């Protein structure tokens, strides 16, 4: 099940399929158990709803998954399951528990087992051993308590092929998943590869996947898209890959396989800008395969900072990404980060100016967030002001830079959004009529009607004077 966490950002555009649970429910079935998926997050259920669902359930096992921002709610959900039925076996997995298993097990007696790393094979083995009354210490890739001490078993190696993982698509309440931007849509998710072998220091994925990358057979991906379209009427898909386009040969084969299916689907994805530049001659295939939306990270206007983050991107080339996508009627999104330890109002201004210069269709401005398991986290401790993991969502500031206050960061982000989209609205309205114009107009309307977004923009207005005072204090202190 998913915990009832809401950051306020993702929900603006739609309700997203928990693809990991689809795979894990399939693994539970292979262990010989009946399985169900309860997506409290997508349903908008609060704890009273969750308690009612758990009381009605006769589940012997309750499992959840967590990133850093959702860990508190995931643990609270498992605590609720234990409160209702103390003999329920609780299992937790995901990026945060993988690295912070000792802290999680110490924080709550309600968590019985933590699955470390890739979960499908480990969960299946764990369930089989528990069902047989065996010793969980024989299961690779888990952590648990025994006689007051934390036991971590040997690591579970990654499977070479990811094509044969079982999926439990039939367990989803498909009516819960839709795009708010595309009318009459059913929103699904699909994985075409796993992992990332790059070194970006701010990203958790390269560490979780141990800098590995494994790809699925393009034909099997296309078959799965067709199956979901024909069987469950899914017409919008999020590609969940960290780096789907890593291999040009394999990626082009996937595009060709999807094009050959000739099904009317829309695909949303994220990838590296350098791959878009590499693929300029086949971007027409992207669009013909149904790709309508590509997000890529630019992060900052400071090349030195990019190099320190091991981003492997040259700022002077990045504008080509958005120009090329524009030529092919593909919606482009650029993400930027602010609030680095050495951030200043001047460096933020340069980043905001870069966003306008590159002119993507959509821009997002995130806060620099140090993951508690990342290299260098301890070095940042003197700057960390927020220790509530629920705020580690890249929306709320967590650290206070040397030369700025957290309020200044929030005001700068609000100003960045306001200035970027004030110019964009006129551009959208004067675009050639068509799918892309309608998409951008709808997403802008959703963005501006979001209570969460309006609250954040409001901070930018009411916080201007206090933020200016903070800036003066910083100067006096310096």
Angle between helix axes 19-30 and 120-131 (nearest 10 degrees) is: 40
Lowest-confidence segment of 151-155, 413-417, 453-457 by average pLDDT: 453-457
**Domain boundaries of the chain, sorted by first residue:** 10-152, 172-477
The gap from C-alpha 38 to its chain's centroid, in whole angstroms, comes to 19
Predicted model pTM: 0.92
The gap from C-alpha 77 to its chain's centroid, in whole angstroms, comes to 21
* pLDDT mean over 358-362: 93
Adjacent-strand bridge partners of 149 = 146
* pLDDT mean over 362-376: 89
pLDDT for the residue 326 = 94
The Cα angle at residue 408 between residues 404 and 411, in degrees rounded to 5: 160
Beta carbons of 152 and 116 less than 8 angstroms apart: yes
pLDDT for the residue 474 = 67
Residues 12-36 pLDDT 10s: 888 999 999 999 999 999 999 999 9
CATH topology (fold) of 172-477: pyruvate-formate lyase- activating enzyme (3.80.30)
Residues 318-331 pLDDT 10s: 889 999 999 999 99
Helix %, strand %, coil % of the chain (to 5) = 50, 15, 35
Contacting residues for 49 by C-beta, under 8 A, at least 6 apart: 40, 43
Indicate whether 158 pLDDT > 80: yes
Q: What is the spatial distance between Cα 111 and Cα 66, in angstroms, rounded to a whole number?
A: 13
Residue whose tokens read 């690591």: 155
CATH topology identical between 10-152 and 172-477: no
Question: Could you tell me which CATH number the domain at 10-152 has?
Answer: 3.40.50.280
Q: What is the spatial distance between Cα 102 and Cα 70, in angstroms, rounded to a whole number?
A: 17
pLDDT for the residue 282 = 98
Length of the chain: 478
DSSP assignment of 8-55, as one string? SSGGGTB----HHHHHHHHHHHHTT------BHHHHT--HHHHHHHHH
Characterise 230 by phi-psi region: left (phi > 0), alpha (psi -120 to 50), beta (else).
Answer: alpha
pLDDT for the residue 201 = 62
């Amino acid at each position: 099940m998913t915990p009832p966490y809401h950051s306020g950002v993702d929900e603006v555009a739609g309700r997203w399929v928990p693809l990991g649970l689809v795979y894990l429910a399939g693994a539970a079935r292979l262990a010989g158990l009946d399985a169900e998926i309860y997506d409290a997050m997508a349903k908008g259920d609060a704890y009273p709803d969750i308690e009612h669902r758990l009381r009605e359930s006769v589940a012997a096992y309750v499992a959840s998954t967590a990133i850093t921002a959702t860990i508190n709610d995931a643990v609270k959900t498992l605590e609720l399951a234990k409160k209702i039925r103390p003999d329920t076996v609780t299992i937790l997995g995901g990026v945060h528990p993988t690295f912070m298993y000792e802290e999680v097990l110490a924080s709550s007696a309600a968590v019985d087992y933590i699955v470390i790393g890739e979960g499908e094979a480990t969960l299946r083995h764990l369930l089989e051993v528990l069902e047989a009354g065996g010793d969980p210490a024989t299961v690779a890739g888990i952590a648990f308590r025994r006689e007051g001490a934390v036991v971590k078993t040997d690591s579970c190696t990654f499977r070479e092929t990811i094509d044969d993982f079982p999926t439990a698509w039939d367990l989803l309440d498909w009516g819960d998943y839709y795009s708010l931007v595309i009318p009459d849509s059913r929103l699904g998710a699909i994985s075409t590869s796993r992992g990332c072998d790059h070194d970006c220091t701010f990203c958790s994925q390269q560490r979780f996947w141990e800098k590995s990358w494994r790809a699925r057979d393009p034909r099997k991906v296309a078959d799965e898209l067709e199956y979901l379209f024909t069987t469950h009427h899914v017409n919008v898909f999020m590609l969940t890959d960290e780096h789907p386009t890593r291999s040009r040969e394999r990626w082009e084969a996937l595009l060709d396989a999807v094009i050959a299916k000739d099904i009317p689907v829309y695909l949303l994805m994220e990838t590296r800008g350098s791959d878009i530049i590499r693929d300029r001659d086949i971007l027409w295939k992207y669009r013909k395969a149904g790709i309508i939306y590509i997000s890529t990270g630019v992060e900052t206007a400071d090349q030195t900072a990019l190099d320190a983050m091991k981003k492997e991107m040259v700022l002077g080339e990045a504008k080509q990404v958005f120009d090329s996508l524009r030529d092919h009627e593909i919606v482009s999104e650029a993400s930027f980060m602010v609030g680095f330890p050495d951030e200043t109002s001047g460096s933020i201004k340069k980043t905001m100016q870069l966003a306008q210069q590159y002119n993507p269709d959509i821009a997002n401005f995130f806060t620099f967030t140090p993951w508690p398991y990342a290299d260098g986290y301890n070095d940042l401790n003197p700057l960390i002001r927020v220790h509530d993991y629920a705020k580690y969502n890249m929306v709320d500031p967590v650290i206070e830079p040397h030369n700025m206050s957290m309020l200044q960061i929030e005001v700068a982000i609000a100003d960045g959004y306001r200035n970027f989209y004030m110019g964009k609205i006129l551009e959208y309205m004067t675009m050639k009529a068509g799918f892309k114009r309608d998409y951008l107009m709808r997403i802008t309307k959703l963005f501006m009607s979001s209570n969460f977004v309006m609250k954040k923009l409001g901070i930018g207005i009411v916080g201007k004077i206090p933020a200016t005072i903070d800036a003066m204090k910083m100067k006096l202190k310096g």
